[in-house]
Structure formats: C-alpha cells, structure tokens
A and B are shown apart, each in its own frame.
Chain A
Amino acid sequence: MQWNFQEIHQQAQTEAQAINSPQALEAFRLKYLGKKGLVAAVFASLGTADPSQKAAIGKGANDLRGLVEGLIAAKSAGISTAKVSGEQVDFSLPGTGEVLGHTHILTQTMQEIIAVFEQMGFVTIETPEIETEFNNFTGLNIPIDHPSRDAFDTFYLDAEDPSAQGRRLLLRSHTSPGQVRIMKQHKPPMAVIVPGRVYRPDAVDASHSFMFHQIEGLLVDEKVQFSELKGLLTEFCRRFFGPKVVMRFRPHFFPFTEPSAEVDINAEILGIQRKKWLEILGCGMVNPKVFEAVGYPKGKYKGFAFGMGVERMAMLKYGINDIRLFYENDARFLKQF
C-alpha cells in the first residue's frame, strides 16, 4: 500500500478549515483518529508493507496523527465543545420573574434633592403637618391681617391650638414652620432640610393642588453670608439640572427672609421654548425678627433659608404637564419612573 502523505496532509488541512460546528469537528476526528480512522489504517498497513517502507510509513502515520491533533486543538478553541443537548432556546422570549415595583416620582425627586444637600452636610428633619399659627405665621414675621398672608391661604382645623387660646390649629401652608420648630429646639450651628406635605385652599387645575410637597432648607451659624446661599444653590442646581444650567437670583419678598430672592433657571436646559426663565425656588437671609421670635440672642446669629416645590421640580425635570397626575395614581403613570 502506497501512502501519499503530502496529499493526505493537504486534504486534512482543507477539511479542517471548513469545520464550523462541534459535530463536524467530531466527524473530522473520527475520520482520522477514530478506531477505523485513517491513522489506524496507516498503522494497520505496516503489517503488509515492504520492510524498506516501514520506517517511512510509521513516521508518516505519527506525523499525520500529530497534524490532525494539532488541527483539532486549534479548531476546538473556536468551537464550543460542550455536550450537545439538542435544546434550542429562543432568547427573544422574555425572562421569567416578577417586575420591580416603582417608587413614586415625587418620592424619587425628594430623595434626589435631599441627597444633594445631605452630601453637602445638611441633615434631614421631618416636622408635623398640623401646625400652630405661631409656627406657620407669627414666628415667621407674617402678621395676622397682613397682605403678606395672601400668598399663604390656609386650611384651619376644627381643633383648638392648646398653646393659644381661641386660635385654631391649621395645616401648614409651607414647610417654613419647620424652621421655627427646629430653632426653638436647637442652638446653632445647624444645616437642616425639612421635606413634607403642605396645604393651601387652591382650586385644583393642571398647575394647582390643595396638597403638595415642599423642601425647606435652613443654615444658621454666627457668620453666614448671602454669597454662601448663592454658592450652595448654584451647586444644587448644577447637580440637579446638570452642569450647564444657567441661573439668576432675582430680588423678591418673603416676610421671613431679608434680603430675599427668587431663583430662575434657563428654560432652554429643559427643552422649554415658550419662556426664557423658569422660577424654581425662593430663598434669602433669615430675617432677624425670626431669630427674635425663636428666642435667639439679638444679633448673635445669621442664617439663610430656601424652599422649593417638589411637584414643580419634578414637573420641570421630567416634563410632567399636569400636577393632578401625581395623586391620581394611574398605574401607567406610576410605572414610568
């Protein structure tokens, strides 16, 4: 039997190149290295071979085995050699298991805002929704029968204020009474955030609700500057709306701060075209009359305060156009966030 090893080697190499599956690889292995394979056949032919050829045939068989083993090793690296189960999984099917629930977008927005201030060293305190006139108004330099109350129309409760005879308890119309409570209880330095629900008897429409959420901030110490209020809120806006936000501080009036300002951001950053500026929050240096009302020594402390509406922030940031969506709790709304 004559063996043309050169041709066999070429043939094996050509076949190996075409292998593209574990099955083909196995067939290739059997063809050359199997019990009835070519290598075995070559060795078997030694018995009948011309003695002068035996050495060459033996070497040829060994070379062929080496070549085929090398080809298989090289090929199998590229082809999965896993045992074939015959299973064909359609990976376009959805995975099994339950979907996650969603935290309400107002909770998320509140957590996001709070996180920014907590990272900067503020602590968070929640104070009650049911308040006294003193905390909601008088202590904040909002006198009874003063037009500055117009902005804070209030729900009163059918319950007498135990601390003021003949006066009713009320639902806080802003989170600022939290300032009064906290300052009455603690001495500076302090840097606090007060989040929570507030109430105003506003007729409900796309941008008004009789219940909404606010976040109040208060920082008090012996030396506090307006420039620090600006710096803090600028940093907040950058983190909340993105680094490209443009802001402006516009003088305004709040009875409990002096000077007072409103902060606007550029509408463009939120993709809003109909306006140039969007008002997002109110702020100012704590009015000395508030420090007086909470019993701090005259002239000892300075501070700043700010407040923002959570619904407004969420509506601006996420493009929600109707405040009623927040409280309607349609599952299709809840599951978007």
Chain B
Amino acid sequence: MKLSLGWLKDYIDPKISTEELIERLTMAGLEVEGVEYIGKDIVLEIEITPNRPDCLYILGLAQEIGAITGQAVNPPKIKSAKTAQLKELIHIESKEDCSRYIGTLIKGVQIKDAPPEMKVRLASLGINAINNAVDITNFVLMETGQPLHAFDHDKIAGGKINVRRAKAGESIVTLDGIERKLDSSILVIADAQKPVAIAGIMGGRDSQITSSTKNILLESAHFDMGLIRRASRTLGLRSDSSYRFERNVSFAGVAIGSDRATELLLQLSGGQLSGRGEILSKAKSVAIKIKVKVSDIESLLGLKITPLKIKTWLSRLGFKVTAKAGVLTVTPPANRVDIGQDVDVIEEIARMIGFDHLPSKLPTIKAANIPVNKRPREIKDQIRRTLTAGGIDEIITHSMINTKALVKSNMADMPALRIFNPLNQDQELMRPVILPSFLQAVVTNFNRGQKDLRIFEIGKTYFKDKEKETLGILLTGRRTHDWRLSKKDSVEVLDLKGNLERIFKNISVSVIYGKTEMQVFDPGCAASIIVDGKQIGVLGKIDRKALNNWDIKNQDIYFAGLHLDEILSKPGKFVRYQAISEFPAIIRDVSLAVKKEVPYKKIEEICLQQGGDILRSVQFIEQYLGDKIQSGHKGLVFSCHYQSNIRTLREDEVNAAHERILQALTRDLGAVRR
C-alpha cells in the first residue's frame, strides 16, 4: 500500500520527521519497504499484512498513525445523503454473497476532468486520472477503503440491477477490453439482459462512464471475501477493489464510502441526487465485545501494566474500553475486522508499547519434555561422519524430477507420485528413486571439468502413501587423489561396498548381498543389500546404455541406493567387553584355486565350521583372476588365525584343525592348493 504523506496531512499532522515516522510505522507492524519522491510529495510503500484491511486506505492509516504518535486525526465530515428510497433499483438474488448493497442515482451529471488537487492525490498513489466520476470512485476507495463502481445508468437495461451468480455461457467485456467467460462460481451485477459488472472485481465496458454519460448509478457494496478471492483467481483478474474485498471490507464502510462519493459527485459534476436503494441481506453486525483479563495481559507479555494505561493505548486505536474488577470489556472500531479474541487485543497493547520495550528472559524448559527416539538422527549423523571420513562429499538435490530422468535411467516403468500443479515439466514427479538426482549432479560436474566425484545424499524418496529416508552414494573417477597410495587407477564397486560395510559395522547391522535384476546396473557387477531377509537397497556399476542416455562418457559410475528406515529404527548392539588373549596367535596362510563361481563367503564359512574353538578369524588377503591358473578358476589367498584365551596352543592341534579345513575345502568346493 502506498501512503502519500501529502494526502495523509489532510487528516493528521504526525509532528515527527519522515525518518521517525518510517521507524515507528515499521516497529508497529507496518513495515515501510520503500520511499518515493513524487513532486513535492513523499510516498511510502508499506507492507500491509493480510489481517489489516483497515490499513489499505489513507484514513485507516491516519488512524493508526494517530495511535502511534498520539496526534489527533481529523477525518472529513461525511454527511449521510438524504434522498428518496428507490426500493426497485436494487435486487439481491444471491443473498449469501452480498450482505449489503447501496445504489445511488445521480442525474444530470457533467463528465469532465476531476480538479487538479484530486488528480495529484491519485497520481501520488500511481492511479491514472480518467474523468471526474471514475476519479471520485478511486479517490474515495483510497480515502475510505470502500470499493465503489459508477455505472452509466442509461446503459443499464431496464434501469435496475440484480446481484446474482453468472449463468453458464454468459460473458462480459470488462473495462480493460477483455472478454471474460463467466460461470456460476462468479458473482455479477446484471441488468435485465446481461451482466454489467463482475461483482467486486471489475466493471463492464458497455456500462462504463463516458463523456456522454448523464445519469450515474453509484454502487457501494459488501461482497463475500472468499467468493471474490476465488473468482479473482478463476478469472486471473485482480484490481484494487478485489484486493480489498478479499481482505474483507468493513460492513459499516459501505455507507461511508457511498455518502462520501455521492457528496463529491454532487459537488464536482453538477448532478442531482435522485434517490437511493439499499438492501441489507444480513442483519447489521452488532459491535463485538471482547473480555480481556488484565492478569492475562500481564502473564502473556510478562510485565505489570495498569488498566488506565491499557485504556489510553486502546482508545488511541479507536477501541471502546470499560474496566471492571481487573477485566476489560473492549469493542474494536468497525474497521478492525482482525480483532476477535482476547489475544488480538493483547497484541494491540504489545504493539503500542513496542515489542522492543517488552521484557526478555530465558524460558524454563521442563525436563518432562515429550519422548523422542533420538536413534534415527544419531544414525544419520553417524552415516555422514563415516562417509565424509572416507572422502565423500554430501550433496543436497531436489526432491522433484521429470519423467525423462526415469526413462534415461532405464526406469521408465517405475511408478511415481505426480505433482498436480507443477511449476514446469522438470519438476513433475516426486522422485521414487534417488539415482537420477545423482546422475544430474554428475552431469553438472562433468560439464565443469570435475570428473573425480564421490558424493552422497541422505534424502527422501516418495511413494503413493509414504516417504522413505534414502541414502545414495556415488563414486567415479580416480580412486585417490594421492597417486602415492593408489594401486589401481579408478574406483571399483568394492570401494562402494567398503563404505557400506563401515556404515553397517558402525551401527551394528548385519547384511547379506544378494542378486538384483535392476536394469540400471551392469548385470555382473551389481548386488542387492539384504537386512533381516528384506531387500533394502542395491549397489553396482551403472549400465553403459543408461550412462549414454545421460551423456556420461568414458567413465564408470558406481552407485549404491538404500532405504534407511529399516536400519534407522534398529536399537544398536550393546557391546560387552571380551578379554584380550595373553597367549600367542598362530597364523597359517592358505593359497587355493577354486572355480570362479565359488563365493569367498562360502570358503570362510567352511573354515569357521571346521576350525573349531581355536580358529579365531579368517582374513582375506588377495584374489587372483589372471591367466596363470586353470581356466574357469580363480586364486584366493587368506589366513587362518588360531588362538586360545586360556593357554598356548600346541603345534599339533593347530595342524589338525588346519588340515580339517583344507580337506573340507577340497571335498566340498574342489579347491586345489597352490
């Protein structure tokens, strides 16, 4: 809302500097966002919160500034028009939508320019002058907050208007020259034949005031706020009027605006007042009375305050206050539609004191807070620590993706939750998998020449009726930035598994790796992640075709994605100390050739079965896949660690256990010693 200080001074002299006025307004909740100098005038741009329709016009702001500064406000004296009642002039068919309508007939007007003073006032608020009648309606709107409309009465078929819902198929060309299709959700002002205005939003072109207009029907009405808001949105049409109706204009303002505009029209157009029709389809609202306990004010704000002081503040704001036995009975002014309960009154008092002048102290927070399971957040933080320790950077990506991203990731069939009103096609789906977000980040970085990436995200994936906490990890490029440490050039899938193992070990979750059919992975280089018999995720090397779809060339991408909810709810294992053996360990290395399809895990299992109590652990050393071995076979090297907690092991018992293991490996797996 623009506030012209020149116009303001017609009603109040704040007697403070502009800087101070800006500061005081801002600190009273009317934030001044800008200052403009127009001619000799200073115009403030004020942010008016939606609860303060009373500040959307100059007289309302004058009242507020009067309260803030303690200066007197002198509003113009508005006489109520005395004229004949024209009952038949107005009909309200849609009573729910229009609670009050005043139509005033002024005959024999002369349409010409408004006086310069009025044009200057309007110009200061950025409103173009049109002619005296239209300018008066705009002037009164800005002065009193009451939206008005002037019809050329001779263009109203039948000379009478009806407030009704539009009929299907009806349309109207509005003042801006655009034809608008109407429907029954839209309230119109209609004559005997057709709509002549969209109620509360904009008048029709056919009945507008022109230089040849002789007789004016002046509308001042109160329309339902929600209805006007919906219609304005449906039509994509906003106006100074609709803006105010949406925010609720004051019921009492209907008469004030009507009287003020009538008076000015008679004064400035030379017309004759020829009658008025008024319909109240709802009972006049009774002034509300709110009871506020002084003790409640004191306890909510945390200070001591006298009823007299409160009365002074509230009276300045135009409230009527009576005090009795520590209880105030408060009646807000008719234009303060935002005041309905005691806390609203307490806020007014706080505003007048100034929030910065209210006391400040730390709250008492009770130990009896609500119960919260901290484990999921702890685990997530632990995952972050584990992964960053491994040189992996955390990313945060958008939760929304487009269908194309799924197609490119070989997941065209994956069902996804759609957004009903997306901003654009790039954000039409809530991601059902986290991988496309990662591939997008890869593309962004590759395009900028950054090809060694290790990234992870803990974010949500979305499904029809739930959202799942999801972890994604992606590795690509050189294994290490430090060539001195690198045995191999690039990362491989077991690097990914290593990171997962560290996470699972940290939070004591046991995992097995199974097969996966997911088409986004290279089939020989992918696995599912299974916890408690349930697949929670996958890891593997991304399929070359998918990478081509993303235009990712010459580099392998390794990705793991898993749903965390299953493991976030795990309580974690309680660790009991185990005595450290004082006796020496005996380590025997084993080098074997086995068929390629034999998993290492199987060998480890056989060792642990056969080794007895004295076999403490089996440790993997190396795998050989070269051609210096029988074809279809691989070489494996591992060591068996034998130890006891209570005695030194004898050579012969270790030999016996070790021999059992080797025989079992040969018998069960066809292993050959190398």
Please give the residue numbers on chain A whose beta carbons come within 8 Å of chain B beta carbons, in ascending order. Answer: 94, 96-104, 106-107, 111, 120-126, 128-130, 143-148, 150-151, 155-159, 162, 168, 171, 182, 186, 189-192, 197, 199, 201-203, 210-211, 219, 221, 223-232, 234-235, 248-253, 255, 258-261, 285, 287-289, 302, 326-332, 334-335
Contacts and interface: CB of A to CB of B under 8 A. Distances in A.
Contact of B29 (A190, A210, A251): A251
Contact of B299 (A128, A157, A223): A223
Interface stretch (B138-146, B353-361, B533-541, B610-618): B353-361
Contact of B350 (A144, A150, A259): A259
B363 interface: yes
Contact of B417 (A157, A228, A331): A157
A265 B530 CA distance: 50
A331 B229 contact: no
Interface in B422-456: 422-423, 427, 430, 441, 444-445, 448, 450, 453-456
A292 to B, nearest CB: 10
Contacts of A146: 50, 225-226, 229
Contacts of A287: 343
Contacts of B41: none
18 contacts: A96-B482, A100-B389, A104-B396, A120-B365, A123-B369, A158-B417, A159-B417, A197-B460, A203-B423, A221-B366, A223-B299, A225-B301, A225-B302, A227-B360, A250-B27, A285-B300, A287-B343, A327-B397
B240 interface: no
B303 A227 contact: yes
B40 to A, nearest CB: 27
B532 interface: no
B263 interface: no
Given A146-B229, A334-B393, A231 B355 contact: no
A99 B366 CA distance: 43
Contact of B421 (A124, A201, A229): A201
Secondary structure of the A side of the interface?
mixed
A243 to B, nearest CB: 15
B48 to A, nearest CB: 9
Given A155-B422, A158-B420, A234 B444 contact: no
A219 B302 contact: no
Contacts of A225: 299-302, 361, 363
Interface of B: 26-29, 31, 49-52, 225-227, 229-230, 246-247, 299-303, 341, 343-344, 346-347, 350-351, 355-356, 358-370, 372, 374, 376-377, 381, 384, 387-400, 417-423, 427, 430, 441, 444-445, 448, 450, 453-456, 460, 462, 464-467, 480-482, 484-485
Given A104-B394, A230-B360, A259 B347 contact: yes
Contact of B361 (A156, A189, A192, A231): A231
Nearest to B394: A104
A227 B359 contact: yes
B372 A125 contact: yes
A136 to B, nearest CB: 14
A251 B423 contact: no
A203 B427 CA distance: 12
B467 A327 contact: no
A3 B361 CA distance: 90
B423 A331 contact: no
Given A100-B391, A121-B369, A202-B423, 7 more contacts: A106-B396, A145-B227, A157-B419, A158-B420, A171-B419, A230-B359, A288-B341
Given A191-B365, A249-B356, A288 B394 contact: no
A98 B302 contact: no
B294 to A, nearest CB: 15
Contacts of B466: 128, 130
Contacts of B356: 248-249
A98 B467 contact: no
A332 B445 CA distance: 9
A66 to B, nearest CB: 49
A329 B444 contact: yes
A125, A156, A228, A335 pick with most chain B CB within 10 angstroms: A228
B393 A102 contact: yes
Given A101-B390, A156-B419, A159-B417, A250 B29 contact: yes
Counting chain A CB atoms within 10 Å of each CB, which of B26, B430, B448, B480 scores highest?
B430
Given A146-B226, A235-B362, A253-B49, A258 B29 contact: no
A168 B420 contact: yes
- Top 4 closest pairs, chain A to chain B, by CB: A251-B29, A227-B302, A253-B49, A121-B365
Nearest to A189: B366
A98 B387 CA distance: 12
A302 B361 contact: no
Nearest to A195: B377
Given A98-B391, A102-B388, A192-B370, A156 B420 contact: yes
A302 B300 contact: yes
B450 A98 contact: no
A287 B300 CA distance: 12
Contacts of B376: 126
A329 B27 contact: no
Contact of B418 (A103, A157, A191, A252): A157
A160 to B, nearest CB: 10
